[in-house]
């Protein structure tokens, strides 16, 4: 609907339409608005309809949940993706509802009542509160009957899924066997034929390279790309361009004097009795004993700070911690230090570090810096503050003009007194300048900008930089001319052929090893070096001692007879051919903890539920209305 407004209505007409459609939403809620017109079906499940209003409401709720979790919607979750997930969940729920009706599941009144009374949302001081219950239902436009039916449906569905879950049973013997396999250790060796070593054996001729190019054109495509016209509002640039005089700066300085005031600083020393070495009672007793020695004259503060403090770093300076702002101190420490005059010592105070005895040795009074001393800082702060107002005003102008005149940036440029700029080439994944922003790239290849050639929405690149873009030039992805990529094609041909040679050599060598069940075949090939065999010992499934491909292959292999080696192979992404020899398998510990058994049980239960839902979907007649996802 909003896209239609954007397409057809501008200026006061657009605002009138927005206000008009907003009134029903405010008065009756989204559900009432949608239900008031012709019923639109989002999907049909075994003849039962799922209304579009249910999808709309559930989508809104899901977006609110995601926003509360992430702060903003993740970029990969656009409206269509969320709607697809929501509709899929609603179809699953409808299938479950049909199943519970068929099998006779139904939550009792007692179960429904207990569930509602137990919901923390409806409780006050730990007890169910009838008034709170009624108020929350009214606020969410729900009647008691509707909410209680929803609760009954939820409990009933849970009865079915719980019944299925309970059929998932794992005997301890099976869990022990599984644990033994998971913790299994395997030993053996690997030998690698390097694809790079075979590149020297490839002689690229012109015909072969050209044929390779023609058979693999998809590997030599240029990226789809665009150039964009854009207008940007940048608070930093606005600040630079402001005309500022000294009279304005002095007035700003006077109005914001607290920003240029040096706070009082106190030079403090302390004796720390840490709680890390003893309990609170013992630490308090020791701190009081030290304080008594100071006040009685038995010892002085500096001596005890050197010999008895648990702050060994400050002890080297007789407890001196230097000049500190009160706001930088622990709250209790600050309270004690603020109450002291120069030379006075506090009684022990409990802070986050322990018990501390505080002494103030000097005080630097609060000081207001002169205008001349901070003129540069005042200028920067004044410009930032003034530019912020201009920035928000210009952003509002740009948004309004770009929306009302979505076929051109000229009116917005005229209103701002700015020049339209054209970007360098931007692809879907990269670009320079504004193309570095994923928001710009996403907008550039959106339906509205790329195909409909509208201005984009306002894009907030940073909190102080906003931009609107529109398409200038669009180039489709295309096969690059052979002359342009000849070297790239030649390198790709050599790489492809060297991989084939590597595999051929590896297969031949593997066949010999499978005949002998040992590594002696390496000695029959002059160019191979038996010393390059690499040993792996006690390899586990999650080890990183070697590549993931090798680990995966090792644990797929069958162990050979004792004294022999079983062989297999894997090919690495870079084309290297790795021959894997397995010589020893040791089963893991079979002891199964209660936690592990519970995990096995939970996994089996989850699989049972998944299997049930999969079977329901396969047997059901489900029709999806594509327009419901638009």
Nearest-angstrom CA–CA distance, 100 and 87: 20
Write down the pLDDT at residue 379: 86
Nearest-angstrom CA–CA distance, 228 and 471: 5
Write down the pLDDT at residue 105: 86
Structure tokens at 494: 């050599």
Sign of the torsion angle spanned by Cα atoms 154, 160, 164, 167:
positive
Write down the pLDDT at residue 382: 83
What is the length of the chain?
630
Nearest-angstrom CA–CA distance, 595 and 598: 5
Write down the pLDDT at residue 11: 39
Write down the pLDDT at residue 208: 96
Write down the pLDDT at residue 21: 32
Residues of the chain with pLDDT under 70: 1-39, 71-73, 75, 168, 630
Answer yes or no: are the C-beta atoms of 507 and 570 closer than 8 Å. no
CA angle 386, 390, 391 (to 5 degrees): 110
pTM above 0.75, yes or no: no
Write down the pLDDT at residue 510: 94
Write down the pLDDT at residue 204: 94
Write down the pLDDT at residue 25: 32
Write down the pLDDT at residue 10: 38
Nearest-angstrom CA–CA distance, 470 and 455: 5
Write down the pLDDT at residue 188: 94
Answer yes or no: are the C-beta atoms of 262 and 366 closer than 8 Å. yes
The DSSP-derived string for 438-460 is HHHHHHHTSIIIIIS-PPPPPEE
Write down the pLDDT at residue 17: 33
pLDDT in tens, 22-71: 333 333 333 333 344 456 888 899 998 988 888 888 888 787 777 777 76
Strands (E), 294-338: 320-325
Write down the pLDDT at residue 428: 92
Answer yes or no: are the C-beta atoms of 618 and 592 closer than 8 Å. no
Write down the pLDDT at residue 39: 63
Q: Please state the three-class secondary structure of 228-293 as a single string.
A: EEEEEEEHHHHHHHCCCCHHHHHHHHHHCHHHHEECCEEEEEEEEEECCCCCHHHHHHHHHHHHHH
Nearest-angstrom CA–CA distance, 176 and 172: 6
Sequence-distant contacts of 335-341: CB under 8 A, at least 24 apart: 337/266, 337/268, 338/266
Structure tokens at 290: 């030290």
Answer yes or no: are the C-beta atoms of 296 and 331 closer than 8 Å. no
Write down the pLDDT at residue 1: 32
């Amino acid at each position: 609907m909003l896209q239609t407004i954007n397409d057809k209505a501008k200026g006061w007409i657009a605002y009138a339409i927005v206000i008009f459609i907003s009134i029903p939403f405010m008065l009756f809620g989204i559900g009432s608005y949608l239900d008031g017109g012709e019923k639109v079906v989002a999907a049909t499940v075994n003849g039962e309809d799922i209304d579009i209003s249910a999808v709309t409401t559930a989508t809104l709720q899901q977006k609110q949940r995601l926003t509360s979790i992430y702060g903003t919607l993740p970029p990969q979750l656009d409206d269509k993706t969320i709607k697809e997930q929501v509709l899929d969940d609603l179809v699953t729920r409808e299938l479950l509802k049909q199943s519970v009706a068929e099998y006779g599941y139904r939550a009792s009144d007692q179960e429904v009542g207990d569930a509602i009374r137990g919901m923390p949302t409806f409780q006050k001081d730990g007890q169910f509160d009838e008034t709170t219950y009624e108020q929350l239902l009214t606020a969410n436009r729900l009647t008691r009957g509707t909410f209680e039916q929803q609760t009954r449906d939820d409990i009933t569905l849970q009865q079915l899924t719980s019944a299925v879950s309970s059929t998932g049973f794992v005997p301890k013997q099976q869990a022990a066997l599984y644990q033994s396999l998971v913790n299994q250790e395997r030993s053996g060796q690997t030998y690698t034929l390097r694809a790079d070593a075979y590149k020297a054996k490839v002689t690229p001729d012109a015909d072969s390279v050209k044929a390779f190019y023609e058979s693999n054109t998809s590997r030599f495509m240029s990226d789809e790309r665009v150039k964009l016209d854009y207008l940007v509002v940048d608070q930093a640039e606005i600040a630079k361009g402001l005309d500022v005089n000294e009279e304005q700066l002095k007035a700003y300085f006077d109005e914001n004097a607290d920003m240029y005031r040096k706070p009082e600083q106190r030079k403090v020393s302390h004796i720390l009795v840490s709680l890390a070495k003893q309990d609170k009672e013992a630490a308090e007793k020791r701190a009081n004993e030290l304080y008594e020695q100071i006040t009685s004259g038995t010892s002085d503060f500096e001596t005890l700070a050197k010999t008895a403090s648990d702050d060994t770093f400050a002890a080297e300076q007789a407890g001196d911690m230097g000049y500190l702002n009160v706001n930088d101190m622990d709250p209790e420490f600050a309270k004690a230090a603020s109450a002291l005059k120069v030379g006075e010592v506090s009684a022990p105070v409990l802070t986050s570090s322990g018990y501390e005895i505080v002494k103030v040795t000097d005080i630097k009074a609060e000081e207001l810096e002169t205008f001349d001393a901070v003129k540069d800082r005042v200028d920067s702060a004044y410009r930032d503050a003034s530019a912020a107002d201009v920035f928000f005003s210009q952003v509002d102008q740009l948004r309004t003009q770009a929306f009302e005149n979505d076929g051109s940036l000229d009116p917005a440029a005229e209103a701002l007194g700015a020049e339209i700029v054209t970007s360098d080439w931007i692809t879907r994944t990269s670009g320079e300048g504004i193309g570095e922003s994923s928001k710009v790239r996403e907008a550039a290849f959106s339906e509205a900008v790329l195909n409909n050639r509208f201005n984009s929405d306002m894009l907030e690149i940073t909190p102080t930089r906003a931009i609107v873009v529109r398409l200038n030039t669009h180039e489709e992805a295309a096969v690059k001319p052979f002359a342009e990529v000849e070297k790239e094609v030649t390198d790709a041909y050599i790489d492809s052929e060297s991989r084939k040679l590597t595999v051929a050599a590896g297969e031949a060598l593997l066949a010999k090893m499978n005949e002998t069940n040992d590594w002696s075949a390496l000695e029959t090939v002059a160019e191979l070096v038996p010393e390059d065999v690499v040993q792996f010992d006690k390899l586990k499934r999650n080890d990183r001692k070697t590549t993931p491909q090798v680990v995966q292959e090792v644990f797929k292999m069958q162990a050979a007879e004792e004294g022999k080696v079983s062989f297999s192979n894997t090919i690495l992404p870079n084309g290297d051919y790795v021959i894997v020899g397995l010589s020893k398998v040791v089963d893991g510990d079979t002891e199964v903890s209660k936690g592990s058994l519970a995990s096995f049980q939970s996994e089996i239960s989850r699989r049972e539920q998944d299997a049930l839902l999969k079977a329901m979907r396969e047997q059901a007649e489900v029709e999806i209305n594509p327009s419901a996802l638009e």
